[in-house]
């Protein structure tokens, strides 16, 4: 079966040849292959201006990124066997990395599966599709996951806002098997119950695995504040690894109720405070409370490039508030998952907070996302997580 061609303008195949997977709508030779002639998600053969094949992929005429490359081999159309092949390669990496089946199994472009993310909670998979091309292949994705992983359940959390950029509806769907309300995962010797349908994103933030591991050696005897705690990943691991006390702050009472249950699951106690993080930090400061370790792991403040100015300011304010409740010689763990917020800008915000409070900072460690979220070297957007471990003196 031959695929319809998508022809690029002269030289517009260069980025793809250099390793990228995206085609922007202004790069298509719409005189010869009008985008409007394609259905959203349709499979195509992407060709250079001279007709030479670049590979196969899928199109969405309604999106700024109007096509994504799935294979550089024109003989491989986007189909079930290509998905099986890609998922096997993805699984091999994760099995090498982790002793237990709790990880991000597929990370979109970085695993040559543009538009598809799959998280693995043991026997249960939670998948998220963000492009029309992957949506068209949903049945094949389910079949490929069955073949490669043989899960007991596959849940689609197709309820993220970015789907709207591709004209896709927001929904969740159990595509295979049955599902408990929650699953149990393990991380650094702690167990966590993770909500599947009601949780944030796909349920658990596997990207912080290494950074939470970095935290462990700083804990004995410390008082820890976990801000934007969600279900208690940082705070509970802190309590279980020797912290004297851990307080979790989040605006979601369901997340905090889950955090309390997760603490019990590990035989530790935590405090919880349901509040806006900025308000809570101000109140804790006003009450004279001090902590030895403060973790700031907020949701993305800079979702689009044009939000950078406002976002930088928010990160700076947050770090300053966090520093105000930090003891002398305390540890600030400052994270950002905003791709558009450069690491250096976050560091500048931390430094500026120090100057305002007349304190000195030493960066001890800097971390990124865990290796189950590999970075695609040609696609900067795949490197998004930053975590600074900062000793604040004075
Ligand atoms: N630290 C968590 C992940 C945080 S996700 C982990 O390691 O698993 C972001 C969390 O921030 C969510 O639980 C959300 O409920 C919470 N949140 C978002 N805005 C908030 C705000 N203004 N104040 C407090 N919590 C907020």
275 & 306 share domain: yes
202 pLDDT band, cuts 50/70/90, is confident
Q: How far is the CA of 203 from the centre of ligand 1 (A)?
A: 12
Asked if residue 200 has its Cβ within 6 Å of ligand 1, the reply is: yes
Pocket test for ligand 1, best of 228, 252, 255, 283 (most atoms within 8 A of CB): 228
Helix axis angle, 308-324 relative to 277-286, nearest 10°? 30
Q: How many CB atoms lie within 10 A of CB 209?
A: 24
| Mean per-residue pLDDT, 15-31 | 97
Atom of ligand 1 nearest to the CA of 299: 9
Percent of the chain at pLDDT > 70 equals: 100
pTM of the model: 0.96
| pLDDT confidence of residue 231 | 97
**Number of alpha carbons in the 13 Å side-chain half-sphere of residue 214:** 21
Range of the domain at 60: 5-71
94 & 67 share domain: no
Q: How far is the CA of 159 from the centre of ligand 1 (A)?
A: 18
- On average, the pLDDT of the chain sits at 97
189 & 174 share domain: no
Q: How far is the CA of 132 from the centre of ligand 1 (A)?
A: 29
| Structural contact between residues 56 and 2, judged by C-beta atoms closer than 8 angstroms | no
| pLDDT confidence of residue 1 | 62
Q: How many residues does the chain have?
A: 394
| pLDDT confidence of residue 180 | 82
Domain termination site, one of 47, 71, 95: 71
Asked if residue 228 has its Cβ within 6 Å of ligand 1, the reply is: yes
CA dihedral 145→147→148→150, nearest 10 degrees, is 80
Domain termination site, one of 129, 147, 179: 179
242 & 296 share domain: yes
Kindly report the CATH number assigned to the domain that includes residue 133.
3.30.750.80
165 & 296 share domain: no
67 & 171 share domain: no
Nearest Cα neighbor of 316 from 332, 293, 292 is 332
Domain termination site, one of 29, 54, 71: 71
CA dihedral 11→15→17→20, nearest 10 degrees, is -160
Asked if residue 192 has its Cβ within 6 Å of ligand 1, the reply is: no
Q: Whose CA is nearest to atom 10 of ligand 1?
A: 228
191 & 124 share domain: no
pLDDT beyond 70 at 198: yes
Model confidence over 248-305: pLDDT tens digits?
999 999 999 999 999 999 999 999 999 999 999 999 999 999 999 999 999 999 999 9
Q: Whose CA is nearest to atom 9 of ligand 1?
A: 299
370 & 226 share domain: yes
Nearest Cα neighbor of 56 from 147, 135, 148, 133 is 133
214 & 363 share domain: yes
Nearest Cα neighbor of 134 from 185, 72, 87 is 87
Nearest Cα neighbor of 156 from 219, 107, 203 is 203
Helix axis angle, 80-97 relative to 138-149, nearest 10°? 40
Asked if residue 394 has its Cβ within 6 Å of ligand 1, the reply is: no
pLDDT beyond 70 at 82: yes
Q: How far is the CA of 99 from the centre of ligand 1 (A)?
A: 28
Residue with tokens 């971390």: 367
| pLDDT confidence of residue 366 | 97
| pLDDT confidence of residue 201 | 78
339 pLDDT band, cuts 50/70/90, is very high
Asked if residue 206 has its Cβ within 6 Å of ligand 1, the reply is: no
Nearest Cα neighbor of 350 from 369, 368, 332 is 332
The string of DSSP codes covering 260-304 is: HHHHHHTT---EEEES-HHHHHHHHHHTT--EEEEEE-PPPS-SS
Model confidence over 128-158: pLDDT tens digits?
999 999 999 999 999 999 999 999 999 999 9
Nearest Cα neighbor of 202 from 145, 140, 120, 133 is 120
Q: How far is the CA of 201 from the centre of ligand 1 (A)?
A: 11
Helix axis angle, 343-357 relative to 308-324, nearest 10°? 40
Asked if residue 372 has its Cβ within 6 Å of ligand 1, the reply is: no
Kindly report the CATH number assigned to the domain that includes residue 44.
2.30.130.10
> What gap in Å lies between CA 210 and CA 243, rounded to an integer?
19
| Mean per-residue pLDDT, 313-335 | 98
Kindly report the CATH number assigned to the domain that includes residue 365.
3.40.50.150
88 & 41 share domain: no
Residues acting as catalytic residues = 337
| 336 DSSP β-pair partners | 386
203 & 285 share domain: yes
Atom of ligand 1 nearest to the CA of 229: 1
How many domains are there within the chain? 3
204 & 84 share domain: no
């Amino acid at each position: 079966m031959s695929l319809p061609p998508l022809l690029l303008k002269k030289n517009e195949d260069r980025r793809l040849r250099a390793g990228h997977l995206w085609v922007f709508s202004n790069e298509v030779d719409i005189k010869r292959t009008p985008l409007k002639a394609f259905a959203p998600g349709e499979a195509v053969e992407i060709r250079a201006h001279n007709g030479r094949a670049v590979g196969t992929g899928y199109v969405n005429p309604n999106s700024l990124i109007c096509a994504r490359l799935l294979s550089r081999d024109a003989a491989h159309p986007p189909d079930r066997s290509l998905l099986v092949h890609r998922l096997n390669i993805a699984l091999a990496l994760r099995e090498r990395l982790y002793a237990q089946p709790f990880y991000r199994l597929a990370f979109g472009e970085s695993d040559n599966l543009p538009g598809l993310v799959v998280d693995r909670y043991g026997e249960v998979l939670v998948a998220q599709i963000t492009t029309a091309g992957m949506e068209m292949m949903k049945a094949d994705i389910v079949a490929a996951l069955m073949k490669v992983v043989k899960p007991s359940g596959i849940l689609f959390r197709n309820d993220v806002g970015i789907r709207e950029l591709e004209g896709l509806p927001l929904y969740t769907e159990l595509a295979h098997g049955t599902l408990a309300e929650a699953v149990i995962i393990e991380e650094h010797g702690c167990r966590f119950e993770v909500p599947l349908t009601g949780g944030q994103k796909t349920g658990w933030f596997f990207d912080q695995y290494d950074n939470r591991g970095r935290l462990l050696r700083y804990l004995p005897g410390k008082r820890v504040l976990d801000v934007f705690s969600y279900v208690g990943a940082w705070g509970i691991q802190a309590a279980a690894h020797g912290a004297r006390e851990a307080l979790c702050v989040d605006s979601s009472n369901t997340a905090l109720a889950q955090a309390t249950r997760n603490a019990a699951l590990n035989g530790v106690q935590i405090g919880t405070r349901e509040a806006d993080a900025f308000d809570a930090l101000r109140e804790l400061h006003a009450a004279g409370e001090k902590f030895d370790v403060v973790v700031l792991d907020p949701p993305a403040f800079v979702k689009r490039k044009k939000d950078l100015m406002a976002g930088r300011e928010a990160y700076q304010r947050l770090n300053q508030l966090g520093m105000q409740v930090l003891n002398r010689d305390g540890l600030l763990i400052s994270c950002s998952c905003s791709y558009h917020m450069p690491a250096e800008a976050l560091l500048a915000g931390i430094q500026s907070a120090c100057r305002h409070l007349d304190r000195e900072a030493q960066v001890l460690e800097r971390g990124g996302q865990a290796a189950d979220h590999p970075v695609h070297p040609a696609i900067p957007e795949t490197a998004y997580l930053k975590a600074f471990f900062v000793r604040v003196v004075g």
